[in-house]
Amino acid sequence: MITISLRPFWHQQTKCISIHFDNDNNISGYVKAFPDVSWNNTNKTFFIPHYRNAISDLFNYFRQKGWYVDYSALKTTPEPETTESKGQGSPIKKLPPLLEEQKIQINKFGKWLEQKRFSKNTVNTYVEVTSLFLRYINFKQIESITNRSIEQFNYDFICNAKKSVSYQNQCISGIKHYIDFKGIEIDKIDIKRPNKDKKLPNVLSKEEIKTLFETTNNLKHKTLLSLVYSAGLRIGEALNLRHRDIDFERGLIHIKAAKGRKDRYTLLSRGIVPMLQTYLSHYNPKHYLFEGRNGEQYTQVSARQVLKKSLVNAGIQKYATLHTLRHSFATHLLESGTDIRYIQELLGHNSPKTTMIYTHVSTTNLKDIKNPFDSL
């Protein structure tokens, strides 16, 4: 298996991440395609500036090729490599690697998940967290998977390491699917899944959205961001679109096999049609609506870099992700008086409770409240 090593690197007094691999033109070409990659001739290495999601972006980018990513040299990693041993103060410095037979089983596990039609991201996540669990039982010299071993892992590597609720749920789900894959019979796993934090979504105002698009000059980038916002799309849904999914006559976009393997229709804005037609005429994509340099599907990593650059150009200081555009679409619909049931259908939510969160960030009703400070 090809191994990509990520290491801390300083360039001109700037914190960076260097990318190391065995010399191979195919690997080198793929590394060069990552946004903002540079070559340092002195140290003979590729590197990128260190930013907030740099490690996870690199990790997901290389995992798309099925390559193993070693980021143990970096202090901040998406996967916990160190933790406190239960009841002791000495940390586990590094987990041992998977045994050869475990590697074979993990590869089979990944294919089994794919056959169950899990998304690519879910498959990668479950494979990674399960690999971590197997490395943990190797470290503890545990011979068989039991309730006790799972509870130990949950305490040592999740609770004690103060990992997020979302990460904990991913680990438990991944291990449960692996147990199902292996046909292992154990007692019911009695690990209480914590409720997720009920955080309100970040939302950009209509003025900020307008400025964001006005300062994005690249046609492909502008079309991508505009489509995500105007149709309330998840980024994965936008990148999976094909030309035939756009119904110009009916003013609809057909979203196929979205989250939960559900199809739905959402709005095609009349205002975006001229831009979209110009984009199609200029770029002439062959398979996907948005394609990379070699005709491959445009990556989420590239899309995030597009938004990041546009936010800087627009002078928007507010923290925002591609999903913020979807949140903003729903909030702006609600503020304009659209029935929340229609918003639920457009977003593809199973339950209206999920959509109701936008009532907490909408400013329509809040503006009508008279602040007591104003009457002092």
pLDDT given for residue 142 in this prediction: 86
DSSP H helices in 183-218: 206-214
Confidence of residue 204 (pLDDT cuts 50, 70, 90): very high
Q: What is the pLDDT of residues 149-166, one digit of tens each?
A: 888 888 887 777 777 777
pLDDT given for residue 98 in this prediction: 86
Confidence of residue 84 (pLDDT cuts 50, 70, 90): very low
Please give the model's pTM, rounded to 2 decimal places.
0.60
pLDDT given for residue 354 in this prediction: 77
Confidence of residue 88 (pLDDT cuts 50, 70, 90): very low
C-alpha–C-alpha distance, residues 123 and 119, integer Å: 6
pLDDT given for residue 188 in this prediction: 63
Of the chain, the percentage scoring pLDDT greater than 70 comes to 85
Which domains, from first to last, does the chain contain? 1-75 (3.40.1170.30), 79-197 (1.10.150.130), 206-360 (1.10.443.10)
Q: What is the pLDDT of residues 129-150, one digit of tens each?
A: 899 899 988 888 888 888 888 8
If phi > 0 it is left, if psi is from -120 to 50 it is alpha, else beta; for residue 46 that is: beta
pLDDT(281) > 50: yes
pLDDT(87) > 90: no
Confidence of residue 268 (pLDDT cuts 50, 70, 90): very high
pLDDT(100) > 50: yes
The residues facing 267 across adjacent strands are: 252
Q: What is the mean pLDDT of residues 232-253?
A: 92
Picking from 187, 202, 186, 192, the residue whose alpha carbon sits closest to that of residue 172 is 192
On average, the pLDDT of the chain sits at 83
Picking from 60, 200, 80, the residue whose alpha carbon sits closest to that of residue 135 is 80
8 A C-beta contact, residue 343 and residue 351? no
Highest mean pLDDT pick, 36-45, 80-89, 246-255, 335-344: 246-255
Q: What is the mean pLDDT of residues 289-298?
A: 86
3-state helix, strand, coil in the chain (%, to 5): 50, 10, 40
pLDDT given for residue 226 in this prediction: 95
Confidence of residue 91 (pLDDT cuts 50, 70, 90): very low
Q: Which residues are catalytic?
A: 234, 259, 323, 326, 349, 358
Helix (H) or strand (E) holding 308: helix 300-314
pLDDT(82) > 60: no
pLDDT given for residue 263 in this prediction: 86
